Amino acid sequence: MLADKLLELMRKKVSARSDEELPALEFGNYGFLTVLIRFHPELLWKVDDQKLSIFHAAVAHRHEKIFRLIYDIGARKDMIAAYKDENDNNILHLAGKLAPRIQLKIDSGAALQMQEELLWFKEVEVIVQPSYREMKNSEGKTPYLLFTEEHKELRQEAEKWMKHTASSCMVVATLICTMAFSATFTIPGGNDNNTGKPIFLHNRLFMIFTVSTALAVFSSATSVLMFLSILTSRYAEEDFLYSLPSRLVLGIGSLFVSIASMMVAFGATHFIFLGHDYARIAIPIAAFASGTVTLFALLQFPLLSDLIGHICSRSLLSHPEDRPLF
């Protein structure tokens, strides 16, 4: 009796599609569909009035967990993936369409949204036959062409976002590189008139100053080069998959290291000048310097976390190892 009620509910849901949007609750209930398919495997072959199966609708509306079930049905997935809708769109065509706005807003920044769309398209591409990747729909468009047309505006927004972020960070990195380079020739305490060596050469704080200024120069120069490579990129669609995000991560990461190194050199210099006699003054100065680094890390952490999370994931979905539905 319960299974019959679930089946009837599912049929009502399938027949109640809207022309404007598909609510998330309609095909987004992973647990409900899992139980339902186990009771009624024939639902795998059912299509709605637009000839969309459960998996096709999941692809079109970015329900990852529902689409993941296609890996659990064995050889059936090849037959279901071959379905086409009323406009001759195969499942890869549906993946090539722009995601609903509510899905795009999950990621911060147009570049990450573009990367997410590319990852999703590549994920669905894995399950289709090679011939379907070049198959044309009723409008004569292949999945790749449809993806390019649907994501034209998003790609342009992603390019603007990436350029603006890179140019803003590049200004800061250039300033740090200039100051750190100048600091390497401004030795605290000066040189010995007889030997020409720094007076505080054997002071541990002087060595900290030397190492930190050198690290600030190298890291800031690396950051400048990374941001420069972003600004001069061709901004093709494939570049947003790994190339541009990886450069942005390296650029922001190097910028963080350069800021931290500069603050360490700043603190070490004040400790050298003030010494232990004025430690009460030097310690608050060092605390404020570390607060600046912490503030930068907190402000950039959400973006950096999203970038690293997308880069480290080879696939948008985590495929189950062995979890057959039947």
Residue in the structure block whose two tokens are 């409008």: 139
CB 69 within 8 A of CB 127: no
Tally the residues of the chain. Answer: 326
Domains 2-135+145-150 and 155-312 share a fold: no
* CATH architecture assigned to 155-312: Up-down Bundle (1.20)
Q: Using CA atoms, how far apart are residues 134 and 136, in angstroms rounded to an integer?
A: 6
Contacts of 11 (CB under 8 A, 6+ apart): none
3-class DSSP state of 198: strand
Domain boundary assignment for the chain: 2-135+145-150, 155-312
Topology (CATH) of 2-135+145-150: 1.25.40
Round to whole Å and give the CA distance between 234 and 155.
Answer: 12
Backbone angles phi, psi at 72, to 5 degrees: -100, 0
DSSP 8-state code for residue 131: G
Q: Give the pLDDT confidence score for residue 207 in this predicted structure.
A: 84
Q: What pLDDT score was predicted for residue 66? A: 78
Query: Can you tell me the distance from the alpha carbon of 98 to that of 250, in angstroms, rounded to the nearest whole number?
Result: 29
pLDDT at res. 166? 94
pLDDT (tens, 9 = 90+) of the chain, 326 residues, equals 434 444 454 445 444 433 333 443 354 566 666 676 677 777 777 777 777 777 888 888 888 777 877 777 767 777 777 788 888 888 899 999 998 777 777 777 888 889 889 988 998 888 888 888 899 988 999 999 999 999 999 999 999 999 999 999 999 999 989 988 888 777 766 665 666 566 666 677 778 888 899 999 999 999 999 999 999 999 998 899 889 999 999 999 999 999 888 888 887 877 777 766 666 676 677 677 677 777 777 777 777 777 777 767 655 454 554 455 55
Residue 227: its pLDDT value, please? 95
* Residue 226 token pair: 């990374």
What's the confidence (pLDDT) of residue 194?
Answer: 67
Judged by DSSP in three states, 191 sits in strand
Distances in whole angstroms, Cα of residue 200 to Cα of each of 69, 150, 190, 205: 67, 63, 8, 8
pLDDT the model gives residue 13: 46
